[in-house]
Amino acid sequence: MNIVLIGFMGTGKSAVGQALAEMLHARFLDTDAELEREAGKHVAEIFAERGESAFRSSETLLLQRLANEKKPLVLSTGGGTPLRADNVRLLRKIGPIIWLTAPPATILGRVRRNLSQRPLLASHGDDPLARVQRLLKERTPYYAQVADYEFDTSNFATSSAVASYILTMLRNPVVV
């Protein structure tokens, strides 16, 4: 089974993705980590040197490659990945799309330590909580539109607990 994780920064996509991949004996891939590996640079540097739109295009190229792979894959995406229609089409081709959420204050608590690595939250005049709230408001319709399932990760004690719950839901879908 393939699984795709989407959601805002700090909602736990990478940690939950890793736990899911272990449980499923699948390959785990984090699009940010893969793009950093390919470029030999941090995402923040890619943004600074080549701009957000070039970063977004490399995300799309990576998804095109992944959509043609046959091996089981758990894919954790960047927070902005579902904003492009091309990406959404490719994500749907890869597998069921799980949207991870968390309240803005929880998100900020999780990303606060490395704000400098988050180009969209760092170095802006407004306060980081307001920025998280504003971006979340802008993006929620995109996430909601593409997601097959939604899980609030702040309701769980560990990433493994979120992963187990997701697998139970996928294996025993509730039909209403």
Interface residues with ligand S3P (CB under 6 A) are 9, 13, 32, 43, 78-80, 118-120
**HEC-encoded secondary structure of 48-71:** HHHCHHHHHHHHHHHHHHHCCCCC
- How many CB atoms within 10 Å of residue 54? 12
The set of residues, in sequence order, having a beta carbon less than 8 Å from that of 66 and lying 6+ positions away, is: 29, 73, 75, 90, 94
**Closest CB to ligand S3P among residues 10, 25:** 10
**Closest CB to ligand S3P among residues 138, 168:** 138
Smallest distance, ligand S3P to C-beta of residue 172, A: 29
Smallest distance, ligand S3P to C-beta of residue 66, A: 15
Decide: helix, strand or coil at residue 121. coil
**Closest CB to ligand S3P among residues 140, 168:** 140
